[in-house]
Each structure stands twice: as C-alpha cells, then as structure tokens.
Structure 1
C-alpha cells in the first residue's frame, strides 16, 4: 500500500527553545538507515521505531522547509498540511536536524546516516587543518580531496551493494559536485531540470525495482527564503509549487511503497538592523584571541 508521510526538521525559534538533536532515534541521520534496514540492507539499523518497512521507499528533500514554517502556512501548502499528525489521517511528525542545521552538514547526515561529528562535514565554512584556512563545505572551495573529509560509505552505496534499485533524481547541476559524491552517491544519478520531471521520473524509478530506494531534491524554496524572506510572496509562491509537486509524486506511488518528505533545515527571518546584528569586525573585544571565524550567521565557528 502506498503511503505518503511528512518527516521534516523543526525550526529552532530561539536558542533557549531549540530542540536537542535526537541522534539515534529521530534525527535526519536516522531516516535512510531505518528505511534501508526495512529492506534488509546489511550494515543498517532501524532507529525510528514507528516507521513501517516498505519494499520501495522515496525520500523527497525540500531544502529549507522547516516544520514550523509548514505548520504556519496551511493555505499555501494544503496537501502537505493534510499529512501532518493531527490532521485527518495525517501521520507526519518532525525529525530533528543535526547541529549545525545547515545544508552541507544536513545532506551529509541524510546520505551517510551519521551525525555531523562522525561524517566530517560540520558546517558551512570550516578550518582545513592541512592549510589553516577556511574551506566552504557547500561549494567545496577551495577544492580538497572529498573523501579526506567524509570517508564513510553512504546508505545509497550500501543499498546498491545489497541489490536494491537505488537512484537519485535531482538537478543536473548537482551530479558531479564533491558534496554529492561524498554524501549522496550510490546507484544511479538522474538529472532532470524541472520539478515535474523529477517527480515523474522518481515515481518511475521507484517502480523499477522489486526493492527500491529513491532520493529526489528541490532547492528553490530555500533560495527564495534566503533572498526574499519566508514572509515574502516569492517564498509563498514556491511553497505552493512544492505542495503541488509532493501531491504529484504521491499520486504516482506504485504498490508497496512509501514517500517521506523532509528538509535539511528550517528558516527564520532576521531583521536587517543594528538591534538584531552583531558585527564581529567592529568589536575589538570579540576579535581578541580569535584566529579565524568560520561557520555562518546561524552557527559560528570561533577558532582561538
């Protein structure tokens, strides 16, 4: 029986109320290992107890769509909202992102099934011990050997080796990036330009094997949030589009399959004014004793 569900990461609203990552029981890193274990893939463990095994599993990751955003935008995402726990027939509940909740770190956790401290991609920009300089782990600049950072097999590689039909359906732009190679490789990558093409082909790939593990991805909601904010018309329009994509994919699920909709992080609007910003470069007390400032605005890495 086909069953869509929403498994999304909560969006921390303040430091004091931020949820602790539920590593080993309910984090992003636990999703793929749980699905793979249900298909009998060696080396994987079912960490999320309430997930029922399925022969065909599809994970649709929507970049930047946090749990709080989804709950507060019911009108723009009626289909997704109908899948949430509390809605009629809805079973979706949140997963916790790891720390820090940034794209490179979260995607590596999704693909490897490991928390950030284990898989080696701990932030947006981090200090490279070989050079002493900052390395951007999303854009992989400056280039360094990818597997020096993340040497572990991905869940997709384990599934493919176990005879599971394994595929990633995403933008062609991501096919050969270092982040894809260390976090999401295994099986076959299929580049498709439009969201509709990705949904249709993901459904085809899901039906292509007796046991299937398919991953698909959409980035533009995150881009709209970063550029215009989550209260903007552009972001809301993207959410409406994403909602239609999820429904399109769910309606094509083959028998014995499950669809999981998740995200890598949430998003909050930060006002652009002095009361909400701290400028490191203008405060000598903050700079004292600091050799390098990495990370990003959401989670700084301070190197003494």
Structure 2
C-alpha cells in the first residue's frame, strides 16, 4: 500500500512543467519570442518522444530494465505534469504550451461547455469541433508560421480526432498503421527530422500506459514493455541525423489502485446525493452540483474520504495553483468540487463499468503520478 502523500505536488508552470517543453525547444531552434525555461541545448532539429505513462519514479524503480533511459535520467531533470495528471490534459499542455487553466482540457472527462452534459475528451462527440473546446493557437501552429517543419508521428486512428486537433494541430500528421512496426516509426521520424532548415518531430508511444492500466505497473508485463520501449528509444537515437537531438518525457506516472482500496460511490448511502454531473477518473473526480448544494457536497465527501483525499472546491483548487492561471471562460468546465486521492485508492462508480477493468491509474497530485522525466540525448 502506498503511503499518504503529505502534500499535493503543485505543477511548476513556467519553469519545469510539460507546458514549458515546446517553448524551450522553440528557443533552442532559434525562434524569436520563446523562452528556454528548461535550459535545453541549442539545436536545429529536435525529436520529442512522449511515452504515455512514463513517470519519473516509475522509471527510477525499474532502472535496471531501461538502461538507455536510466542513463539519460542520471544526467537529466524532472518535470511536472499538469492537473489532472492525465493524458488529455498533458498532451494539450505539451502541444499548446499552455497550463490547463488556459487551454481548458481539464481531464479525461469534464463538463461540456457546448450544450452541457459530460464530454469524454478521448472519445469526443459527433459534430463537436476541436475549436469549440480549445480555440487557442497551439504552439505547433505558431512554430509553423515561423518556418519550423513540424511532424506528428502517431497512431493512424488518432488522425483528425478531437484531442489531436485540440492539442496538436499545426503539425503534419504522419499516420502509423501498425504501432508494433518500430522500424517504420523510426524511419518516418528520422526522415521528418531531416526535413527543412529547422524541424520538430512529435512521436507518441502509448504501450506502457496500456499495459499499466490493464495489469499494473509493478508487474513483469509492465517491465517487459518498458524494456521494449528502452530499446526502441536507443535505436531511434542512433537513426536520427547527427545534428538532431532527442527529448524524451512522459505525460504522467502511474499508481496501482487495488480493488480493496476503491470507494464505490453507490455503496456509500447518500454520497452521490445532490450531484448533477460526475466526471473525471478514479484518482481525480470532478463533482458538479447546484451552487447552494456545493458546501454540503464538499463536506460530505471530505468526511467520507478523510485523509485519503484532498477535497477542494473549484475556487480553492484554482487559488492553490493546481491549474495555473485560470481563464474565467474555462472555469465552469471544472467540477464545483474536486476529489484528488492521496493514497493508492480510487473513487469508482457502477455507472462507468469499463473503469472496473483498470489496475494502474493516474490523475491526482502525488509524486508517482505528477513527476515525469526530462531526458535529453
């Protein structure tokens, strides 16, 4: 069982957060108007490899299974993911160079600002435009206008999806039909890195997260997947043009949440009362209620979970800096009350039965979930 996190890890927006990666690379490329907060070296070509689910502490514990990545870690740094520490939020922060409070992609699911109801930001909705949800220019769009050649090498099924368009528009999309074809992915990435006078290639690898969700991260299966990714990253580095540099990071870490540590909402009488919408994921829930009922909802959930979770109102979480500066237009998307787990438990609901198949989870503000590596080769 994981120990209680003593305090939430509030992201270091503006100095060492995922939203600082692309600005630092842009400054390294010599593009005016960007700051190199991360201090990355100058280069004319960069490849940004995002390994979904690669937490810094997860990698440290499995260092022997990842000699290439661990070797870079010894000389590298650490970043903080945004809040919640989940793929939708992190990829959008990476691609827009904005903290969550500015881009508004506030989790796996949150209140849909177009017509209300629940928006699942991975599945999206028919007829809903990415511009309806995330209208700000992405960092890739801005860099493309400055003459940088941008390419996104990602699974073919993600082409044109709501999340891709909200977070990564501006880059040429190179579809990957077979995610297991590492040779093809490396060849496409190397070719893209050699394009133009200055280039930035975004490469997405998701198998570690998939294994962790299904089997847990402290398992032989997870370590086997990490070994494969480690070898892939080493071969990728070797195949890149000599003038190119490789930056590797993750979008979040992972906590194994055993079933005996779950709180199932329907099993606690009255816990779900007064809720008009229930969003987020097991480690970071967003609760929506009528304004006059919010204090009672917060009190009830805080009493039920006790020290197991940080239970804050929307205003308290914003004031604490969890989401960075909050655009007032985005605030109403966030739950009136947010529940972030401090232990290795999760808040589950029978209304979302697919989540009952998860072992590894993320979303909260613990060290395991929030710290991600900054590796430069």
Q: Same fold (TM over 0.5)?
A: yes
In structure 2, what is the equivalent of residue 215 of structure 1?
202
Counterparts of 1:146 and 1:231, CA distance in 2: 36
Which region of structure 1 is more displaced relative to structure 2, 282-291 or 243-252? 282-291
| 1:284 shift after superposition | 3.0
Alignment of structure 1 residues 127-276 onto 2, 5 Å: 127-141=111-125, 144-192=128-176, 193=178, 194-273=181-260, 276=261
Deviation at 1:43, TM superposition (A): 4.6
TM-fit CA distance, 1:171 = 1.3
RMSD: 1.7
Could you say if the C-alpha distance between residues 95 and 268 of structure 1 is closer, same or farther in structure 2, counting changes exceeding 3 Å? same
Counterparts of 2:233 and 2:249, CA distance in 1: 11
Supply the distance in 2 between the matched residues of 1:215 and 1:207 (Cα, whole angstroms).
13
Alpha-carbon distance in 1 for matches of 2:60, 2:232: 18
Secondary structure (helix, strand or coil) at the match of 2:40 reads coil
1:77 to 37, 54, 66: 66
Q: Find the aligned partners of 2:84 and 2:97 in 1 and give their Cα distance.
A: 16
Q: CA deviation at 1:25?
A: 0.4
Separation in structure 1 between the aligned mates of residue 231 and residue 4 of structure 2, nearest angstrom: 31
Q: What is the CA-CA distance between 1:167 and the residue it aligns to?
A: 0.6
- 1:173 shift after superposition: 1.2
| Aligned equivalents of 1:13, 1:21: Cα separation in 2 | 21
Residue 17 of structure 1: CA displacement? 4.5
- Residue of structure 1 aligned with 2:282, choices 267, 289, 297: 297
- Which residue of the partner structure matches residue 3 of structure 1? none
Q: Secondary structure at the match of 2:163?
A: helix
The answer (yes or no) to whether the contact 2:18–2:80 under 8 Å persists in 1 is yes
Per-residue deviation, residues 91-112 of structure 1 (Å, max 9, x unmatched): 2111100000011111000000
- Equivalent position to 1:287, from 232, 247, 272: 272
CA distance in 1, matches of 2:70, 2:20: 23
Taking a change above 3 Å as real, the CA distance of residues 130 and 161 of structure 1, as seen in their structure-2 partners, is closer
TM-score (norm 1): 0.89
| Structure 2, unpaired ranges of 5+ | 290-377
CA contact (8 A) 1:43 1:158 kept: no
Q: 1-side partners of 2:13 and 2:162: how far apart?
A: 25
- Is the contact between residue 168 and residue 214 of structure 1 (CA under 8 Å) also seen in structure 2? yes
Structure 2: distance between partners of 1:72 and 1:283:
36
Give the CA deviation at 1:143.
5.1
* CA distance in 1: counterparts of 2:144 and 2:114, whole angstroms: 33
Q: Runs of 5+ in structure 1 lacking a partner?
A: 1-11, 86-90
- Which residue is equivalent to 2:45? 56
The SS at the match of 2:169 is coil
TM-score of the superposed pair, with normalisation by structure 2: 0.72
2:92 is the alignment partner of 1:108? yes
Q: 1:123 aligns with which of 107, 124, 130?
A: 107
User: What secondary structure does 1:100 align onto?
Assistant: coil
**How many residues are matched?**
285
Over alpha carbons, which structure has the higher Rg?
A: 2
Q: Which residue number in structure 1 is paired with residue 19 of structure 2? A: 29
CA contact (8 A) 2:114 2:132 kept: no
